[in-house]
Amino acid sequence: MKLMEPGSELDGFTIDGCVHSGGMAHIYRVHYTHGARDPGFPMVMKIPRMTAGDGAENIVSFEVEHRILQLVTGPHVPRFVAAGDLENVPYLVMEYVQGATLQQWVDAPLRPDLDELTRLGGAVAMAAHSLHQQDTVHLDLKPANVLIRPDGSAVLLDFGLSCHAHYPDLLAEQLRKAVGSPAWIAPEQVVGVRGDPRSDIFAIGVMLYQLATGELPFGAPETVGGLRQRLWMDPTPPRRLQPQLPPWLQEVIMRCLEPEAAKRYPSAAHLAFDLRHPEQVIVTERGLRTKGTSLGTHLKRWLKAAGMHYQPSPLPTRQIEEVPIVMVALPHQDTTDATFYSLRQAVARALGTRPGARLACVTVIAAGQTSASSDATSETSVHRRYLTQMRQWAQPLGLMGHQISCHVLEAGDVAHALVQYAAGNQVSVIVMGAATHGLKMQRLVATVPIKVAMEAPCTVILVKQALPFQLLDAP
């Protein structure tokens, strides 16, 4: 379809001008011809290219995006307004989101510094996690499809290749080939497996690699053979290209880019957690490597990939539930061994036998407590003491296969600090004592646990002291 001129009208919308003209679609700023139905936000109209030379995937992608935009909600996706059908003029009208695409950071002459890179990566991971929580996998994440709002949050665009677990996958049914952008497509997508949220994690890893080094980890292959190489090959370690990069960042990037999905981050929330708390990242040989993977390792992977039978992906929400981020709020004063024991038992039950789960131990101290300390009890030493106490508390759990991190927060409002931490880190379960930090139940005054239970964005488990200790204390 040829470009529409400003002032043209279509189904009650007036075209204001073209803001993007790509290989798959034209995008126009629009407004209602009669402003009575103004939605309260600016709008764009996306009209797919459907000329004789365009492939069938353009039509299928339009149908997919039409469906997905009506199903997903939240701050990380544009709001859906209206759509036209294929028989007349196909179009999608949605919210026009202010911001800059991640491609602008990629194209900039200077690479983002470490803080900006991790902030961008964390924002994209949080947006992807929000999508996965709605049983949707994007499957075409790349810099051009990520918009960064002025407040730093990310909005995902272009859902034409996406997959929703509760609806038929039109692309899988109608196109018998790998579908995606070659530079960012995950190994399992190359062999036709769609719907695994860890495919989006792979794509985020490609973008992080690109932002950190200025290079694409696997180039831009144009053949099936070139695409298949990522089933067994690792990219050049980022620190070989940019020696100043910290090992923890290479650890994060290379974990995202693992050929086998099971070896990547189990959820985008776990990836966002590491990007926001780099001091908690456990650096392995993967993060220290500066030489490429050996030929022998590649050969073993090649043989394994040749005989591998890929299984359909589980529901994204079910996969997320299997790898929760569990937070335990540990009091640092006015507590007993019975409370610590009871919290430890509750945490063990919450983590269960799920090896991909993460435990975040958190304690909140009074704001200004460290700044008012003398040199002998400086901020660093105070934090270190509490961190040591939390690690000692967690040691008897023997959490093999789980990642454990410890955090000291300073705040005047304990409940608010715990809720904010849980919301900012996509915590699935909060475990805490029924009364913490010495607060007692009073009339008309909610305790910290009650406030947390009322305001938390996730499940809260309130723990009472275990019976054995009560018996020991009895006369």
Round to whole Å and give the CA distance between 271 and 323. 12
Q: Phi and psi of 326, rounded to 5°?
A: -100, 130
Better-predicted residue by pLDDT, 28 or 469: 28
| 389-441 confidence digits (pLDDT tens) | 999 999 888 876 678 999 999 998 999 999 999 999 999 999 998 764 444 44
Q: What is the mean pLDDT of the chain?
A: 86
Burial of 209 (0-12, 13-18, 19+ CB in 10 A): buried
Residue of higher predicted confidence among 134 and 469: 134
Residue 215 has pLDDT above 50, yes or no: yes
**What's the confidence (pLDDT) of residue 381?**
84
Calpha distance 345→337 (Å, rounded): 12
Question: Can you read off the two tokens belonging to residue 216?
Answer: 């694409």
pLDDT at 228: 85
Lowest mean pLDDT among 19-33, 208-222, 361-375: 361-375
pLDDT confidence band for 145 (50 / 70 / 90): very high
Quote the tokens at residue 289: 């490597």
439: CB partners within 8 A, 6+ apart:
447, 448
pLDDT tens sequence across 235-262 = 999 999 999 999 999 999 999 999 989 9
Domain ranges of the chain: 9-95, 100-316, 324-473
Q: What is the separation of C-alpha 152 from the centre of its chain, rounded to a whole number of angstroms?
A: 14
Contact yes or no for 254/246 (Cβ under 8 A): no
Query: What is the CATH class of 324-473?
Result: alpha beta
The pTM of the full predicted model, rounded to 2 decimals, is 0.89
pLDDT of residue 140 exceeding 60, the answer is: yes
Query: Check: CATH 3.30.200.20 for 9-95?
Result: yes
Asked whether residue 459 carries a pLDDT value surpassing 60, the answer given is yes
- According to the model, what pLDDT value does residue 277 have? 95
Q: Which of 122-136, 180-194, 303-317, 348-362 has the lowest mean pLDDT?
A: 303-317
Question: What pLDDT sits at residue 471?
Answer: 53
Average pLDDT over residues 185-212: 93
Separation CA 327–CA 350 (nearest Å)? 10
Six token digits for residue 439 = 């607060």
Q: How much is the average pLDDT of 304-330?
A: 82
Neighbours of 370 (CB within 10 A): 18
Beta-carbon contacts of residue 200 (< 8 Å; ≥ 6 apart) = 128, 131, 132, 137, 138, 139, 141, 186, 268
Given this model, what pLDDT does residue 231 score?
86
* CATH class for the region spanning 100-316: mainly alpha
Model confidence at 372, pLDDT cuts 50, 70, 90, reads low
Using 50, 70 and 90 to split pLDDT, how confident is the model at 376? very low
Report d(CA 382, CA 370) in Å as an integer.
7
442 confidence band (pLDDT: 50, 70, 90): very low
* pLDDT exceeds 70 at position 310: no
443 — pLDDT class (breaks 50, 70, 90): very low
- The Cα 457–Cα 452 span in angstroms is 9
**pLDDT category of residue 122 using cuts at 50, 70 and 90:** very high
CA distance 202 to 132: 14
- Render pLDDT for 91-115 as a digit per residue (tens, 0 to 9): 999 999 999 999 999 999 999 999 9
pLDDT of 212 strictly over 50: yes
Predicted local confidence at residue 237, as pLDDT:
95
Cβ 205 vs Cβ 214: under 8 Å? no
| Predicted pLDDT at 379 | 60
